[in-house]
A and B are shown apart, each in its own frame.
Chain A
Amino acid sequence: MNNRVVEDALLQQSAVAPTKKTVQMPIGVPGYTLTEESREVPVTEPPVWPINKDLKYVGQSVERYDGQAKVSGRARYTSDVQLPGMLYAKFVNAPMPHAKVVSIDTSAAEKYPGVRGVHVIQHVLGNAVLRNPALDAVKYPVVRYAGQPVAAVAATTPAAAEEAAALVKVRYEAIPFVVDEIKARATDAPKVFPGAADEEGSAGGGGGPSDVRQTGNIHGPSIHRHGEIAQGFKDADVVVEGRYVTQVQTHSALETHGVVADWKPELLTVWASTQGTASVREELAGFFKIPLTQVRVITEFMGGGFGAKFGAGNPGVVAAALSNKTGAPVRLMLDREEEHLSVGNRPSSDQTLRIGAKQDGTITAIHLVAYGTAGCGTGAGCSGPASNLYKTAALHTEESDVFINAGPASAMRAPGHPQGAFALEQTIDELAVKLNMEPIDLRDKTDEHPVRRVERQVVRDSDLWKSRNPVAGASQGPVKRGVGMAQSVWYRFVSMSSSAEVRIYKDGSLEVLSAVQDIGSGVKTVMAQILAEQFGVPPAQIAVKVGDTHYPEGPNSGGSMTTLSLTPAVRDAAWQASQMFLSDIAPALGTTSDDLVLVDGEVRSRSGKFAPISFRRAAAKMATSQIAVQAKRIPDYDPKKYLTYGGIDVAEVEVDTELGRIHVRRVLSVHDCGRPMNPAQVISQINGGIIQGISYTLLENRLLDPIYGLMVNPDLEQYKIIGAREIPDIDVRLVEAYIGQSSTDASGIGEAAGVVSIGAAIGNAVYNAIGVRIRQTPMTPAVVLAALRAPAPGKELA
């Protein structure tokens, strides 16, 4: 390979040239607040892009790069991977919610025809020497939820694996359990964990400092505050308070968790359904204590993750261990029941929220006390919206995790925020009623975010909002119509582990590579668009290679950070490669590189020394067969800026007051994500967020049997997910919001895309329709009817 690294040349230049330059960047929202600001940026940065309307490929709704492969079935997901001699693995899962594993007998399974290997998940001690010697005798991890994997079997067929798994004899010693999160808070409830690490009775007997205490099954409270909360309420003219309860939601991605692991002596190759090829590689290397160079992770296509697919997980390490043991590739994909039980969920919440305000709408105090369960894990906090959406003189939040004997939560699309916004945005709506203010006017008073201010104007000007009757419950007849709005917030995460390589070949073909995985949000398409913009070649002609840790490191896809983290590296690599390319071909064209320019797929001479030639013909004049440039993400141009994104969702509902059914008829979604790199793909993400949010608000619910501690609906029949009939018309309005932070000025959308605020928007629309506030999800007909029967303030939860 005849690679050239432009960075070396640039570094040499930097010894004599300035390292920074000043550029003018578009800032604000076109048509509303667009202006310019200067930024100091590295001299190696490409020229500033204008706003989208002045670009040819970026900012346009270019067809999805892999759309045809997906709809035609050519796309190869992890579950489609077939390797010669591949074995099929099946977990043995605990049938009870809390138990000690006394013994595991695998002899019958090992003898079963077709079985090639059995793996038992054993207690590991790590590097530490435990203070409690009794623990050394504990061979297996404690079972803390029904469905927890305890062993796995690998066999030549899926059926043989399943049948052999049933032959693994596990002897359990049941331990008292609790799956009701209210009962779990009682001091005499069965303990999910025996005691704090720094308390007597702890298995570990540690003693680490901690200021977040554990009391029984409660981890918390984690307290965050500013200002004097008591004074804030004293200063208030009006105080509103409510209790809001949200349920556990499972991710229910179409493709379940799973891997195909192929451990050869020199390399462990793993095809993984993951949001982070890098995270899977890092964990497998760390778990097995092998170098990163000996692990390769591939994710060609991904069938949904929503936050739950980071790291190797039990499927990853067990499949790898079985592959190592058997010398054959091992496929371990979870079934739907396992997916519901053991690989994550959105925690519940039980929030008491109190807000005080002056008569003019100025908020003086926000006080949130929240409990929630993340099963036998943590992560049930939900104070993000209360802490970050509105200006308040005083804030006090307390968040506690309640342990129960259920599968652990994992991150799920905007962790904590749909729950938090459900309470906050309904309380703000209630405050508006008490203050006799329009909900939008109240938010104008208390929300200083400049882009949401524009978004509120878009809402205010919309036909849907104008059609809202401000008098709650005013429509006639048993089916009542209402319109409500709610706001969302998310934050700017940047992954510096974001790199890309751009290659120009002598035949004129172009290629861009990064280990980043495309989880469906469309980063492949965006990468092609960036090269297209730089070289003037249509995006469909760009080869995009992603989802392989053999490529330059890519960001993990979570927290709405993929596009904003990676695209500047792609653009920088494309820009630098183009400059190298022009330098390379200039002598053959009888000129110098500063005379050359790439426009619309042609190389042109500024001085007119030669007639324009196509990029392809120009590439044939390259001195070598290939130019390759790798670039990595540089820090944001102005990293001190406090940047959040968000949006506003407006829901129109019809509430059948006789049947209790809520029908969401229309949704208006007004959102920002910096520079929309591909509006169609952004809209697609927002559509998905809205649909997922409606499903959460009205339908989905993990149900645990209190007697047996089992999930009673671990499928997609009894666990209700929204279908086509319940999906409303969704009108998405993108607000371009330039922030001057990188060479692409892209931001993220996945988290703020409707899923945060649609629940509260529905809640506010329901109140507008029937004059009764529903403070509980899912808003099933039974919940609606109960609220209608007990409409007195504070009694809606019945």
Chain B
Amino acid sequence: MSTANATQPCQCLRTKNPYGATPQNAETWLPGIHAASSYWCLRTMSPAGPDDHYVHLARCVPGRACYEEQEK
């Protein structure tokens, strides 16, 4: 099971789900949803990030060159 949820993703990562949805009992079914999530980058408006690699919850994490921290 992916543990990417534990890491704060890049603030430019976009998918349909974060737009206000608060899933309940997420731990029960999110694995079946996350793998079905399509992602795009706010900076490029495409599935490739500024570094030309694909964007994904498991990829847009600290350490990636173009990573931008979430504003606090």
CB distance from B4 to the nearest CB of A (A): 7
Contact between B64 and A206, CB atoms less than 8 A apart: yes
The interface residues of chain B lying within 8 Å CB-to-CB of A198 are: 63
A224 touches B32 (CB 8 A): yes
Pairwise interchain contact A377-B38, C-beta atoms closer than 8 A:
yes
Smallest Cβ-Cβ distance to A205: which chain B residue: B65
Contact residues in B for A380 (Cβ distance below 8 Å): 35-36
Among B6-45, those with CB < 8 Å from A are: 7, 12, 14-17, 19-25, 28-29, 31-40, 42-45
Q: Which of A63-71, A155-163, A208-216, A594-602 contacts B (4 or more CB under 8 A)?
A: A208-216
Interface set, chain B 34-72, CB cutoff 8 A to A: 34-40, 42-54, 56, 58-68
Chain A residue nearest to B14 (CB atoms) is: A311
Q: For the complex, what is the distance from the CA of A352 to the CA of B64, rounded to whole Å?
A: 34
Partner of B48 from the list A144, A209, A565 (CB cut-off 8 Å) is A144
A732 to B54, CA, bound (A): 42
Q: Is the CB of B64 within 8 A of A379?
A: no
Question: B1 → chain A, closest Cβ, in Å?
Answer: 5
Alpha-carbon separation in the docked complex, A491 to B40 (Å): 23
Q: Which of A138, A378, A415 contacts B56 (CB 8 A)?
A: A378
Contact B2 A222 (CB under 8 A): yes
CB <8 Å contact, A313 and B45: yes
Q: Which residues of B contact A635 (CB under 8 A)?
A: 22
Judge whether A473 is part of the interface by a CB distance below 8 angstroms: no
Which one of B20, B43, B49, B60 contacts A496 once the chains associate, using CB atoms below 8 Å? B20
Is the C-beta of A614 less than 8 angstroms from some C-beta in chain B? Answer: no
Measured CB to CB, the nearest residue on chain A to B17 is A559
Cross-interface CB contact of A561 among B12, B21, B28, cutoff 8 Å:
B21
CB of A141 within 8 A of CB of B19, answer no
User: Do B66 and A224 touch across chains, with their CB atoms under 8 A apart?
Assistant: no
Q: Across the two chains, which residue of chain A brings its CB closest to B66?
A: A128
Known: A493-B23, A556-B19, A643-B24. A384 touches B64 (CB 8 A): no
How many Å lie between the Cα of A4 and that of B16 in the bound state? 35
Contact A203 B53 (CB under 8 A): yes
Is A267 an interface position by the 8 A CB rule? Answer: no
Give chain A residues whose Cβ lies under 8 Å from the Cβ of B19: 276, 278-279, 282, 310, 495, 497, 556, 558
**Inter-chain contact B56/A135, CB cutoff 8 Å:** no
Asked if A379 and B63 sit within 8 Å, CB to CB, the answer is no
Q: Residue on B with the closest CB to A638?
A: B24
In Å, the complex CA distance between A498 and B21 comes to: 10
Interface stretch among A291-299, A403-411, A654-662, A711-719? A403-411
Q: Which residue of A lies closest to B37 (CB)?
A: A379
Given the complex, which residues of B lie within 8 Å of A378, measured CB to CB?
A: 37-39, 47, 54, 56
Q: How far is the CB of A538 from chain B (nearest CB, A)?
A: 32
Asked if residues A131 and B65 are in contact (CB atoms below 8 Å), the reply is yes
Contacts of A316 in B (CB 8 A): 45
Asked if B51 and A202 sit within 8 Å, CB to CB, the answer is: yes
Query: Chain A residues near B40 (CB, 8 Å)?
Result: 311, 377, 408
Of A38-46, A119-127, A585-593, A691-699, the one with at least 4 CB within 8 A of chain B = A119-127
Is A204 a contact of B64 with CB atoms below 8 Å?
Answer: yes
- Report the Cα distance A559→B58, complex, angstroms: 22
Instruction: Say which residue of B3, B47, B50, B62 sits within 8 Å of A126 (CB atoms).
Output: B50
Interface contact B14-A212, CB-CB below 8 Å: no
Residue of B nearest to A643 (CB): B24
- Are B16 and A381 in touch, CB under 8 angstroms? no
Neighbouring B residues of A399 by C-beta, 8 Å: 35
Q: Which residues of B contact A374 (CB under 8 A)?
A: 38
A206 touches B63 (CB 8 A): yes
Q: Is the CB of A197 within 8 A of B42?
A: no
Contacts of A415 in B (CB 8 A): 33, 36-38
User: Complex formed: what's the CA distance from A101 to B28 in Å?
Assistant: 44
For residue A276, which residues in chain B have a CB less than 8 angstroms away from its CB? 19
Beyond A128-B65, A397-B31, A492-B24, whether A206 also contacts B38 by CB under 8 A is: no
Interface residues of A (CB under 8 A from B): 123-132, 135, 138, 141-142, 144, 148, 193-198, 202-212, 219-220, 222-225, 276, 278-279, 282-283, 286-287, 307, 310-314, 316-317, 344, 347, 374, 376-388, 397, 399, 403, 408-411, 415-417, 420, 491-498, 555-556, 558-559, 561, 565, 635-636, 639-644
Known contacts A206-B66, A208-B67, then 4 further A-B pairs from the complex at CB < 8 Å, ordered by chain A residue: A193-B52, A204-B51, A377-B38, A388-B32
Cross-chain pairs A/B with CB under 8 angstroms, 13 sampled: A142-B48, A203-B51, A204-B64, A205-B51, A211-B2, A219-B54, A279-B19, A376-B48, A382-B36, A397-B31, A495-B22, A555-B20, A643-B25
The 7 A-B residue pairs whose C-beta atoms are closest, nearest first, are A381-B35, A204-B51, A416-B36, A379-B38, A384-B32, A206-B64, A377-B47
Residues of B within 8 A of A (CB): 1-4, 7, 12, 14-17, 19-25, 28-29, 31-40, 42-54, 56, 58-68
